[in-house]
Each structure stands twice: as structure tokens, then as C-alpha cells.
Amino acid sequence: MKVLLIGSGGREHSLVWKLNQSDLVSELTCLPGNAGIAEIANIVPIKAHEIEKIIKHVILKQYDFVIIGPEQPLALGIVDKLKDIGIKVFGPTQSAARLESSKEFTKKLCSKYNIPTAKYGVFDNLKDAKSYIKKMRAPYVIKADGLASGKGVVLPETLDGALKELEEIFSGKFGDASSKVLIEEFMEGQEASFFAISDGVNILPLIAAQDHKRAFDGDKGPNTGGMGAYSPTPVFNEEIQKIVMNKIIIPTVEGMAADGTPYVGILFAGLMITNEGPKLIEYNARFGDPECQVLMRRLKSDLMDIFLKAEEGNLDAIKELIWSNKPTVNIVLANNGYPGKYKNGSIIKGIEKANSKNEIVIFHAGTKYNENNNICSAGGRVLNVTSQADTLNKALEKAYEAIDNDIEWDDGFCRRDIGYQAVC
Ligand code: AMP
Ligand code: GLY
């Protein structure tokens, strides 16, 4: 099968790496890809949000199957457009992708189907938002309704801070994403990312991972797209998974179908494991990044077969997936300054040396080749050093060894405490 994957991050590099192991895939292309993806697949220089260009390219190249990595093309309706021209595609339609692209949509679904989540109010004007927040307790949770590249959530500690944030948001801080604002109750607990795949009716549970969202050690600094992940995670045991499936995932898939927007694709539940049980923080309509990279290293089953069966509505033909039980970590190497301003174009060496170690697989994110054919930085998150070993400590030791001894890059940084919640 001729397969096209859309995206350019570490998530997509790990998906390409896994899809290449499938006998069902004869030719794999990624757009726009990155320097690492270019080593193992064809790449095409079209950006993921350039929907019309993508459609023309798909028609020209006659792909058999298209897989969507990031949220932006989903929210722009790429799946609907590909289906309209008869192309098989894995991912939710624009209206099903509202599970990620509109927080209000998801909150309403939760209310309608009794799915546990934080209490909330939605506001389209500053006055009402301010009077609601005055009745809440610190810390405050304020969210832009639409997609804001992971930056649309603020957690002020004081009422003054919260009121100031509201003023800034209603003055357009998050652009179009902030015409509506959600104010939520703060949920206390540990976070986990859980993934399931649905064909609209049937559900195939995957596994959970834990992400590290803050930029610096000890969960300090600004929120990022994610600075590292590990799996399995002790916070998410079999019992929690059962509750999450019964109270969150199954009612969501059934509710979406009952409401006429069946969900086909990856369902990524961001969860807070509270004392009252797991609650939904948010849904994403795609794999998590950096979580996907650890999932792909643990997955032993054929990924293409899963995507195909989901698209066909035959997911029930897969009885169970096979996973490695070995602890797996992903340490993100980010550009100095990320998630704020950073500079691109510095040369990175030693990736091959690191990759030659048994435990290690490096997935590229923001990388490209410069004019002298050197790999250089081209984004905020730049490399993902994944490592798998018999124990979590060993996996971490090997990953940090690769970062310290093999990879040569002066302009990057990483967190040194990935997996701290699980290290004995
Ligand atoms: P989101 O983009 O909705 O995942 O929010 C980003 C981060 O903000 C989450 O990963 C949590 O750490 C935090 N967060 C969001 N909503 C809440 C909430 N209601 N209670 C506590 N923390 C939250
Ligand atoms: N790692 C969180 C996300 O992909 O949104």
C-alpha cells in the first residue's frame, strides 16, 4: 500500500518508524517531515495546514491511505475533504475533531453523558467571567475555547492574577481561540495520558503514558508541548483503566455516535487521577507528543493493520494488541529558550552514534539538513531520545548517557528528572 503520513514532529517520526515495520506498507511518504523522517521515508515540502495543496498532491500521487498526525489539519477538515474524493484516511472528521478543537463542545458532551470532569462555566464577555471567577477558589483555571497550540490554559494562583489574565484574554491574547473562555474548578492529582482507537463504534484501548509539561526540572517554568514521557506509569493501573474505559472512553464514543458525529481515530484522554477517581482534563484528537514515541517503541502489533481496520469499521477483528512491558522513556532535547524565543540552524552531531546503542532510538522533531548536509535545529523541540530497558532506572541511565556522551549540540537543553514520579 502507498501510504501518506501528515506531520513533522517526533510523533510523526515514531509513526513512520513503526509503519515501516509493516508488511502492508510498500511505500511511505511524509509531508512535510523532518531530517530524521527523510532518512526512512519520502518527504514532500508541503506544510500540514496547506490543505488544498495536500489534496492536489494526494490526487496526483494516488495514495492508498492517508494518516493525519497533528490537530491543525483535522480541525481544518482534511479528513472530510479526503473522504469526498474517495481516499481512505485515518482520523476524525472536522465535526468529530471538535473533541479537541472546542473545549466547550467536549464539556457539553461530558455534561450530557455524565463523564467525570471539572465543573466549569463558559463566557463570551469579561464582566460575567469576572463575577464567576470571584466565586471560585485558588488556583484558578482559565482556558481559551479554541486551539491555541497548547498555550491556551493559564493557572493563576491569586484572584488578582486571574482577573488580570481574563482582561488580557478578552483583549485578544490568544487571538481567535479566545472569543470564548472557560473557567474551571482546579482538580488535584497526578496526570496521565491514555490512548484508545475507535472506528466509530468499536474501541481498542491502547496504553497510558505520563508526560512532563513544564519546561524545567521539578515541574517548574512555563508549560510546553511536553519535555518527556515514560510508560508504563504506576499511576495508571488496570483498575484505573477499567474505570476510565467505562466512565470516560465508552460514553464518549457512544455519545459521539448517538449525536451523529461518530469518532474514528485516536482518542487521547488527558486525565487527572484524583482522590475521587479519574477525571477528564481534555481530549485530543491525535496521538500525544512526546507520548506517541514511547507508545510506538512499546507496540509490537502491526500499526498499519490497526489503522486499516479502524478506517474499515472492523476494529473488533483485533482482539488485543501486543506491547513490550519494558519501561520506555523519551527525553526531549529542546532549543535553548523554548517555549519562548530560540534560534534555529545550529549543527547537531552524534545522532548516529547514539542510535547505535541497543536501548536507544532517536526520533527527530524540529530538524533539517543545512546546505552542507549537516543536521541542524529547526524548531522548539528538536530531538527525542527514547530508551527501553529492563528497568526504568536503566532506561533513564542509557538515555542520559546518550545525551551526555554521544549527542553534540551546544544550544539545547533537557529535563533531568523525566519519570521521577515512578523512580524508586
Ligand atoms: P489542557 O491544555 O487542557 O491539557 O491543560 C494544560 C494543563 O493545565 C494540563 O495538563 C493540566 O496540568 C492543567 N490543567 C488544565 N485543566 C486543569 C484543571 N481543571 N485542574 C487542574 N489542572 C488543570
Ligand atoms: N503531550 C501533550 C500533547 O501532545 O498535547
- Phi-psi category of residue 173: left, alpha or beta, with phi > 0 → left and psi -120 to 50 → alpha: alpha
Let me know whether 41 and 83 are in one domain: yes
Judge whether 421 lies within some domain.
no
- Report whether pLDDT(72) > 80: yes
- Report whether pLDDT(146) > 80: no
Indicate the average pLDDT of the chain.
96
Measured on CA atoms in the order 279, 284, 290, 294, is the torsion positive or negative?
positive
Query: pLDDT category, 194, cuts 50, 70, 90?
Result: very high
Let me know whether 244 and 281 are in one domain: yes
The closest ligand to the CA of 177 turns out to be: 1
In this prediction, residue 24 carries a pLDDT of 98
Residue with CA nearest ligand 2 atom 4: 288
Which range among 49-63, 117-131, 169-183, 303-317 shows the weakest confidence by mean pLDDT? 169-183
Query: pLDDT category, 150, cuts 50, 70, 90?
Result: low
Let me know whether 210 and 307 are in one domain: yes
Number of domains present in the structure of the chain? 4
Let me know whether 179 and 202 are in one domain: no
Let me know whether 63 and 166 are in one domain: no
What integer is the mean pLDDT of 222-238?
Answer: 94
In this prediction, residue 176 carries a pLDDT of 72
- Nearest Cα residue to 69 out of 11, 18, 22: 11
Q: What is the DSSP string of 324-340?
A: --S-EEEEEEEETTTTS
Query: pLDDT category, 148, cuts 50, 70, 90?
Result: low
Span from the CA of 305 to the centroid of ligand 1 (angstroms): 33
What integer is the mean pLDDT of 132-157?
Answer: 86
Span from the CA of 226 to the centroid of ligand 2 (angstroms): 6
Query: pLDDT category, 163, cuts 50, 70, 90?
Result: very high
In this prediction, residue 151 carries a pLDDT of 66
The domain spanning residue 54 has which CATH number? 3.40.50.20
Residue with CA nearest ligand 1 atom 7: 153
Residue with CA nearest ligand 2 atom 2: 288
Q: Is the CB of 357 under 6 A from ligand 1?
A: no
Judge whether 130 lies within some domain.
yes
Let me know whether 37 and 139 are in one domain: no
Judge whether 257 lies within some domain.
yes
Let me know whether 313 and 196 are in one domain: yes
Span from the CA of 299 to the centroid of ligand 1 (angstroms): 28
The domain spanning residue 382 has which CATH number? 3.90.600.10
Span from the CA of 153 to the centroid of ligand 1 (angstroms): 7
In this prediction, residue 423 carries a pLDDT of 85
Q: Are 182 and 121 in contact (CB under 8 A)?
A: yes
Where is the domain boundary, 317, 349, 373?
Answer: 317
Q: Please, which residues have CB within 8 angstroms of residue 116's CB and are 6 or more apart in sequence?
A: 110, 247, 248, 276, 277, 278, 279, 280
Choosing from 143, 155, 157, 268 the residue with most ligand 1 atoms within 8 A of its CB, the one to mutate for a pocket test is 155
Q: Are strands 264-274 and 228-231 parallel, antiparallel or unpaired?
A: unpaired
Find how far residue 387's CA is from the centre of its chain.
Answer: 19
Q: Which domain holds residue 147?
A: 120-184
Pocket of ligand 2 (CB under 6 A): 150, 211, 225-226, 284, 288-289, 291
In this prediction, residue 178 carries a pLDDT of 65
- Tens digit of pLDDT for each residue in 325-362? 999 999 999 999 999 999 999 999 999 999 999 999 99
In this prediction, residue 380 carries a pLDDT of 97
Query: pLDDT category, 179, cuts 50, 70, 90?
Result: confident
